[in-house]
Structure 1
């Protein structure tokens, strides 16, 4: 209609691209920016950097960042956050030091990104030092986001008691997200007693939080405590709390394909299942053994293996193998945390198929290549 978009409008659209992982649409908007007066607008370019980071194209984000003549704290934050999300802790922390050297004063968002970088790399001592330096050196008061990062940092490293001690030291009422983070760490380290405590606290603060019930039920399931699983699910049903279904998606030739675990809807399921069966045989020859603790149902072992093979991540990856040219990279996105068995399997698939496979879950990006993951199996 002849109305030119401004930086604010483009930022909103690019945020939508980020949430939907719509990289191709984001590239088209980038072209619009290049052909307009917004090509030198800090807000517009920063939004592009953030979009590229969240859509898995870190190289494009870095090129834009380097080309910026003037960078404000928001631009620095976007790039540091990008490296943190992709597990590039060394680059994120190096960029933070460069930011300080350029006399840009970090704000509270900067420290969320820095702590996230330490978190994904397991840099507990360095993370603690940055956390302590916030008030001491920069007069930035810790917010709930910072405490959540620190609980995650300690929890992932198995320092669950230290995480609990930190929660008890918070000078304000802890938010539900902090107990949700502790609960997630308990799942990783199979600490049932502390998980029960974290779940109760989480549900006290947010009775409608489905993750509280689901995580606790999953912890019981991993220990084959099926009566406890049934009790949690019954309580969830009585509270009329609905679980958010897990699904994965992949974009092939400008069309987004969604998959749920044990999907029955996708029109090409037969060929996908056939491909997965082929991959399973090759994976087993290479040494793969299914992680049955991630099959969260009280069924026979063979049925558990089948359920694991049909997890949404594997369905999406197999579809990518079928539809994308041999050797080309595959990008898959998931609305929940990637499951441990899928993480293990995709490492094998990356080597068998000789492809790079990128998986973005709610926590971070996983770059699979030649049988290894960028997270170093620490996530």
Structure 2
């Protein structure tokens, strides 16, 4: 296409489309060839990569964008997408860098979406004190602001505080949505609050007009399984409407695994009290990162500018043979001492 026909809209559409299609290297190569700063096109590429689930690559494109001196004013939603990618990786160090950029540009107080994304980064990274401080600094809030803090508290086992924040949100005049209830149910699950979890699950449609999704069934099944109520968890899994199962197969997988996890926990810890007694109360600390999305738990390490992700028994990394060889050597060395 002749350069005279390549306007900002064309660059943005092309870069975003390539990124959403998974052709991230092509999107980055296209952006490097663009004339002028093209902040919207860079933002579209960052957003497309994050939407695709390529969080590390989204941050790579974002860093490349900032390294180009010609982009004096990056589009605000590029920071939102970068923060969402950092939240996906629970990358606290990246969140701190983004916060510095956002504060320096005056975006925190002037853009609610950017502020929400930063609260989410710190919440998901386990830095809840910082998340709460940022939340308190916000001049304007929307439902997303409250969801970010409720979800952070919920997935890190602070169910009581998540419920308190939910009550504050309602008192402030905000109507909860389906994401609000995911955070609440996660908090109840991690802290064994069976009765409160049931109450929220039942009140969604009845009191708030929020239709239950597969994510809510998964959270509720997890809550029941952790409390030793395995038959009730299995019945809930069987009662999942077919349209929800088809719409969210990953959450359906989480729903089925919840009962299995409860069975394993029952065999490991002995008979669990079905009434949420002492055995349930001892599990108030989070046992892992739960997002309600069916995400596989993973670890990561950053080497220079590249983030490498690993899951249990993962052999997808191109250097897996070397990695496992080193691990075997380390294991042998530890068992000899």
- Normalising by the smaller structure, the TM-score range is 0.5 to 0.7
- Deviation (angstroms), 1:175: 1.7
Q: Does 1:90 align with 2:100?
A: no
2:259 matched to which residue of 1? 296
More strand as a share of residues: 1
Which secondary structure does the structure 1 equivalent of 2:259 belong to?
Answer: coil
Contact 1:52-1:61 within 8 A present in 2 as well = no
1:33 matched to which residue of 2? 31
| Counterpart Cα distance in 2 of 1:109 and 1:11 | 20
2:304 matched to which residue of 1? none
| Counterpart Cα distance in 2 of 1:220 and 1:207 | 20
| Closer, same or farther: CA 352–48 of 1 in aligned 2, 3 Å | closer
Gaps of 5+ in 2: 268-290, 300-309, 329-337
1:246-296 C-alpha deviation (Å, 9 max, x unpaired): 29xxxxxxxxxxxx97xxxxxxxxxxxxxxxxxxxxxxxxxxxxxxx9463
| Closer, same or farther: CA 370–144 of 1 in aligned 2, 3 Å | farther
Q: Does 1:126 align with 2:91?
A: no
| Counterpart Cα distance in 2 of 1:11 and 1:348 | 39
1:116 matched to which residue of 2? 120
Question: Where do residues 225-244 of structure 1 align in structure 2 (5 Å cutoff)?
Answer: 225-233=229-237, 235-237=239-241, 241-243=244-246, 244=248
Which secondary structure does the structure 1 equivalent of 2:98 belong to?
Answer: helix
Contact 1:85-1:116 within 8 A present in 2 as well = no
1:289 matched to which residue of 2? none
Which secondary structure does the structure 2 equivalent of 1:96 belong to?
Answer: helix
| Closer, same or farther: CA 103–160 of 1 in aligned 2, 3 Å | closer
| Counterpart Cα distance in 1 of 2:293 and 2:320 | 26
1:154 matched to which residue of 2? 153
1:59 matched to which residue of 2? 60
Question: Where do residues 282-293 of structure 1 align in structure 2 (5 Å cutoff)?
Answer: none
Q: CA RMSD in A?
A: 4.1
1:221-254 C-alpha deviation (Å, 9 max, x unpaired): 34442331344245434x864352129xxxxxxx
| Closer, same or farther: CA 107–245 of 1 in aligned 2, 3 Å | same
1:128-178 C-alpha deviation (Å, 9 max, x unpaired): 11111112xxxxx11111100110122233221121111111122222210
| Counterpart Cα distance in 1 of 2:14 and 2:81 | 17
| Closer, same or farther: CA 191–26 of 1 in aligned 2, 3 Å | same
Contact 1:179-1:201 within 8 A present in 2 as well = no
2:293 matched to which residue of 1? 336
| Closer, same or farther: CA 218–112 of 1 in aligned 2, 3 Å | same
Gaps of 5+ in 1: 136-140, 248-259, 262-292, 305-333, 357-368, 372-379
Contact 1:202-1:212 within 8 A present in 2 as well = no
More helix as a share of residues: 2
| Counterpart Cα distance in 2 of 1:299 and 1:92 | 34
- Deviation (angstroms), 1:110: 1.4
1:197 matched to which residue of 2? 199
Q: Number of residue pairs matched? A: 274
| Closer, same or farther: CA 173–107 of 1 in aligned 2, 3 Å | same
- Deviation (angstroms), 1:215: 2.5
Which secondary structure does the structure 2 equivalent of 1:71 belong to?
Answer: coil
| Counterpart Cα distance in 2 of 1:52 and 1:353 | 28
Question: Where do residues 144-183 of structure 1 align in structure 2 (5 Å cutoff)?
Answer: 144-170=143-169, 171=172, 172-183=174-185
| Counterpart Cα distance in 2 of 1:116 and 1:49 | 17
Q: Does 1:142 align with 2:141?
A: yes
| Closer, same or farther: CA 7–26 of 1 in aligned 2, 3 Å | farther
1:91-114 C-alpha deviation (Å, 9 max, x unpaired): 322332343234556410111121
1:15-47 C-alpha deviation (Å, 9 max, x unpaired): 455555x1xx2322333333343x521111222
| Counterpart Cα distance in 1 of 2:11 and 2:238 | 46
| Counterpart Cα distance in 2 of 1:189 and 1:349 | 30
- Deviation (angstroms), 1:202: 3.2
| Counterpart Cα distance in 2 of 1:337 and 1:298 | 14
| Closer, same or farther: CA 347–166 of 1 in aligned 2, 3 Å | same
Question: Where do residues 344-355 of structure 1 align in structure 2 (5 Å cutoff)?
Answer: 346-347=311-312, 349=314, 353-355=321-323
